[in-house]
Amino acid sequence: MAAKKPKTPELPIKYWSHSSLLAFLRNPLAWHKRYVELVYDMPSGPAAVVGRAAHTALQHYYGGIGKEGAMQLGFEYLRNVADFEINFGKAKTKAAKKKKREQMEREYSQAVEFYLQKPPRYKVLGVEVKATVEVEGLPLPIKAVSDLVVVSKVDPRGVDIVDHKFVSAFTPYGADKALFILQAIFNYYTVKKTYGKPVRRFIVHECKISRNADGSPQMRRHIIDFRPFRSEFIIFNRLIRDTTLALTHTRVFLPNPSDMFEGENSFDIYRINLAPEDYDTHFRPDE
């Protein structure tokens, strides 16, 4: 009688994305809440909301809408974000929140105007290209969203991926490759599978939201060329395999109070998951 094939442990997710992978590495408990339990109640900071509004404007601009129309659509997105979806920080009163929203609208308008003063020009093949693909050797599919897929200016047979980031400070040159490499490879695999063409470069356009006092440019470009990549793909594939393996062994997700984004919230999640018997103790703080 043939031996039974070992049962593959059931995984709690269906795919990895750049954001979910970073979330798991940074704070597994917060990751579990968002990507396994699918609870999306963490409010975003004002800068993140402004950035998403600006992305909305550029999505429509590169989709063929004029500058004014694209900016207006971004404004509509910004104004439709409810107060409970925004972490206003110290702004607690209605008046303080209104003032903060006015500041967010000014920052949004300024950032998009900076970008559209002299927007990078491309032969656009796709806008907000979403894809989930299988990759040989990886235990789970990977998912990515590419802001733009364009005809490569250095290889007409291939494509480039363009990503937009609205930032409070530029990423230093030299740190860009390490910072963007994971995102770049996620997008590489999904775009290559979707378009069936060589993917040559990952181009990041950073737009600084606040005006530079010295009059220096508000835009900075970072380029990752995939041609010399080899060890980067090996490391990426190993990381995906190891992280997926970790999912099969992890039963308890612990809070990470040092996480600058979700540290405090991770303790709240941990507290919610305490069982009644956990409170059945004679320990008292003054003992």
Cα maximum dimension of the chain: 79
pLDDT of res. 205:
96
pLDDT of res. 165:
95
User: Cβ distance 154 to 28 under 8 Å?
Assistant: no
Task: Identify the burial level of 117 via C-beta atoms within 10 angstroms of its C-beta, where 0-12 means exposed, 13-18 middle and 19 or more buried.
Answer: exposed
User: Cβ distance 207 to 219 under 8 Å?
Assistant: yes
Under DSSP, is residue 134 helix (H, G, I), strand (E, B) or coil?
Answer: coil
pLDDT of res. 187:
97
Ranges of beta strands (E only) in 103-209 are: 124-133, 142-151, 159-167, 199-208
Q: What distance in Å separates the CA atoms of residue 226 and residue 200, rounded to the nearest whole number? A: 6
Helix boundaries (H) for 27-122: 28-31, 46-62, 67-80, 94-117
pLDDT of res. 42:
78
pLDDT of res. 121:
95
Q: What distance in Å separates the CA atoms of residue 199 and residue 159, rounded to the nearest whole number? A: 5
Q: pLDDT in tens for each of the 287 residues of the chain?
A: 555 544 446 889 999 999 999 989 888 888 888 899 888 777 889 999 999 999 999 999 999 999 999 999 999 999 999 999 999 989 889 999 999 999 999 999 999 999 999 999 999 999 999 999 999 999 999 999 999 999 999 998 999 999 999 998 888 877 667 778 999 999 999 999 999 999 999 999 999 998 988 889 999 999 999 998 888 899 899 999 999 999 888 766 655 555 444 444 544 544 444 445 444 444 333 43
The amino acid at 42: M
DSSP-assigned letter for residue 257: T
pLDDT of res. 270:
42
pLDDT of res. 189:
96
- Which phi and psi angles does 149 have, rounded to 5°? -115, 125
Task: Please state the pTM of the whole predicted model.
Answer: 0.82
pLDDT of res. 73:
97
DSSP-assigned letter for residue 156: T
pLDDT of res. 264:
47
Q: At what angle do helices 231-249 and 18-26 cross, to 10 degrees?
A: 60
